[in-house]
Amino acid sequence: MSAATTGPAPVTVIGLGPMGRAIAATLLEAGHPVTVWNRTASRATELVAAGAAQAATPADAVAASRLTILSLTDYRAMHDILDGSTDALDGATIVNLSSDTPDVTRAAATWAAHHGASFLAGGLMVPAPMVGTEAAYVYYSGPRAVLGAHEAVLRPLGTPRYVGEDPGLAQLWYQAQLTVFLTTLAGLLQAAAMASAAGVGVGDFLPDALDTLTGIPVMLEGGHELAKRLETGVHPGDLSTVAMMGATADHIVSTSHASGIDTRLPQAIKSHYDRAIATGHRTDNWTALYEVIKPRH
Ligand SMILES: NC(=O)c1ccc[n+]([C@@H]2O[C@H](COP(=O)([O-])OP(=O)(O)OC[C@H]3O[C@@H](n4cnc5c(N)ncnc54)[C@H](OP(=O)(O)O)[C@@H]3O)[C@@H](O)[C@H]2O)c1
């Protein structure tokens, strides 16, 4: 008597923006039967040609697989799609890889539980073309057992990084990382505008700007010392003081102004230094800015 063989589990993907399409394509490549649904049905065309089934309704899509992955602009979109199909949620597992606030995500987990669904929140940490590559990883939060039950299916999208039972935590990790990402991208654009305003070719300038970015991990030596300073609130050091860095922040505002470029980002950074100096951190290391950024209890 031969044991019954089971193939890769069926998966449903709702939301076919760049990310949802990359998720569905990666699951198809991994051999899963994939059902898709998207508000704008035409976005499924290529996936259907590649073997996906296109559900007629969100309820049909959820019913097609034990596991439904959502990839939507925000959680409002999830409610717009599924609020009229809550009967289909009973017994389903929803993994929502859409961005939203931790509080909205916690409320969604409660909503899903109320309708009999298991719910896991996730944040995919790479752009769509990198989904399924070695570099991809995904923060997950919610019941660990739910991740455990579906980890084999989810792993091809990116290495899972489980951050806790609180469903809001994956969003928090995601948004903290996106804070680094968005401010870095804004900084690059700000710097390029300054260079360009002075007649420096952006193409000549940007490679050096990227060297500055990749030099930061070296400067932070893996982040252990930085973590210690932020955790202890002690910021010794005379190599990069608040006074010195603050003077540079002031020069950047003045140069931006003289260049005719937008000054709001440099002003925001200068304000951190101004407030750190005003609260007695002039001779501390630049890490003392943390004291004016973090919440005051
Ligand atoms: N793109 C990236 O590089 C990237 C990287 C990491 C994480 N993420 C996250 O992944 C998620 C999806 O990203 P994306 O780039 O694919 O987003 P997107 O381009 O905004 O696509 C969003 C999807 O949401 C659907 N949608 C939006 N509002 C809706 C509503 N009210 N009702 C029904 N459907 C609605 C869209 O449907 P239609 O097609 O009908 O408009 C589309 O399928 C986002 O939360 C994003 O933050 C994206």
98 CA: nearest ligand 1 atom: 45
Lowest mean pLDDT among 4-18, 139-153, 156-170: 4-18
Q: How far is CA 164 from CA 89, 114, 141, 174, 238, in A?
A: 23, 21, 5, 13, 38
Cβ of residue 289 lying under 6 Å from some atom of ligand 1: no
**Residue 5: predicted pLDDT:** 55
39 CA: nearest ligand 1 atom: 40
Q: Which one of 166, 189, 206 terminates a domain?
A: 166
6 within a domain of the structure (yes/no): no
Asked whether the predicted pLDDT for residue 4 surpasses 80, the reply is no
Helix 264-278 / helix 169-197 crossing angle, nearest 10 deg: 110
> Within this chain, do residues 62 and 209 fall inside the same structural domain, yes or no?
no
Q: How far apart are CA 15 and CA 20, in angstroms?
A: 5
Q: Which domain holds residue 261?
A: 173-293
> Within this chain, do residues 81 and 110 fall inside the same structural domain, yes or no?
yes
For a pocket test of ligand 1, which of 69, 73, 105 has the largest count of ligand atoms closer than 8 A to its C-beta?
73
Q: How far apart are CA 108 and CA 147, in angstroms?
A: 17
Nearest to 82, CA basis, from 45, 51, 55: 55
Q: Which amino acid belongs to residue 96?
A: N
How many domains does the chain contain in total?
2
72 CA: nearest ligand 1 atom: 24
**Residue 1: predicted pLDDT:** 35
Pairing of strands 159-164, 137-141: parallel
Per-residue model confidence as pLDDT tens digits over 148-162: 999 999 999 999 999
Å from CA of 149 to ligand 1 middle = 26
pLDDT above 70 as % of the chain: 98
Q: Helix and strand tally (H, E) in the chain?
A: 12, 8
* Whether 116 contacts 95, CB under 8 Å: no
What predicted TM-score, i.e. pTM, was given to this entire model?
0.91
The CATH number linked to 104 is 3.40.50.720
> Within this chain, do residues 178 and 274 fall inside the same structural domain, yes or no?
yes
For atom 32 of ligand 1, the residue with the nearest CA is 77
> Within this chain, do residues 160 and 270 fall inside the same structural domain, yes or no?
no
